[in-house]
Amino acid sequence: MAAINFIQPLHRATKRNYDDRFAGTNKAECAAVAKKFGEEYFDGERKFGYGGYRYDGRWLAVAEAMITHYDLQPGARILDVGCAKGFLVHDFMKVLPRADALGCDVSEYAIKNAMPEVKDRVRIGGAASLPYGDNSFDLVVSINTLHNLQLPELEHALREIERVGKKHKYIVMDSYRNEREKVNLLSWQLTCECFFTPQEWDWVFSKCGYSGDYEYVFFE
């Protein structure tokens, strides 16, 4: 198990005004809407989530870095848990055309509105009960998804990733190292259920039997 920074360049490229994130709105109501993971979350107003979740190619560099780091070869099977509209699935296939990349997400809206190129590769499925057989994938990834689960479900999800992944696993979780980052995270997020320090995440991984790689996103 190792810390690997595939996502940090993307995360740091986004400028955030934490104080103005929900100015003039009721954040609790916005979060309640966001947690339905429907049209409002992906393609509604910014206060409910992405404000329009559209493909822009930003995940190509991430897909390429993962394929290189894990030395994935043609024919490799890859799973994206929490794939949304399938952007990363698409980019895995673009970087490694003979890979077998698949994705699942709890959002019916996201799967229905997935990229046309990957509609046959994504399906509805929750992280806590993955609809795949044991040891099915050479690489399982889950980016900014598992922290949206409450702790009992999170344990199931980590064990499921272990079950379906026969080799490499990589997950990304929101975290904080100090009070400023904690306040920023709480100010920015809409859907997180688990708020842990890196040390606490390490403890969770150990207790749940997770053996793969990980990355923490900090709201600096």
Q: How confident is the model at residue 200 (pLDDT cuts 50, 70, 90)?
A: very high
> Residue 125: which CATH number?
3.40.50.150
Q: Which residue has the tokens 């780091």?
A: 69
Q: How confident is the model at residue 6 (pLDDT cuts 50, 70, 90)?
A: very high
The range of the structural domain enclosing residue 99 comes to 8-218
User: Residue 183: its pLDDT value, please?
Assistant: 95
pTM of the model: 0.95
In a domain, 1, yes or no: no
What's the pLDDT tens digit per position in 147-174? 999 999 999 999 999 999 999 999 999 9
Q: Give the CA dihedral 82, 5, 17, 32, nearest 10 degrees.
A: 20
User: Residue 18: its pLDDT value, please?
Assistant: 81
In a domain, 2, yes or no: no
Tokens describing residue 141: 């990834």
What's the pLDDT tens digit per position in 29-44? 999 999 999 999 999 9
Question: Strand order of the sheet with strand 137-143?
Answer: 122-124, 100-105, 77-81, 137-143, 165-175, 213-218
In a domain, 26, yes or no: yes
Q: How confident is the model at residue 9 (pLDDT cuts 50, 70, 90)?
A: confident
In a domain, 192, yes or no: yes
Average pLDDT over residues 110-137: 97
Count of domains forming the chain: 1
In a domain, 160, yes or no: yes
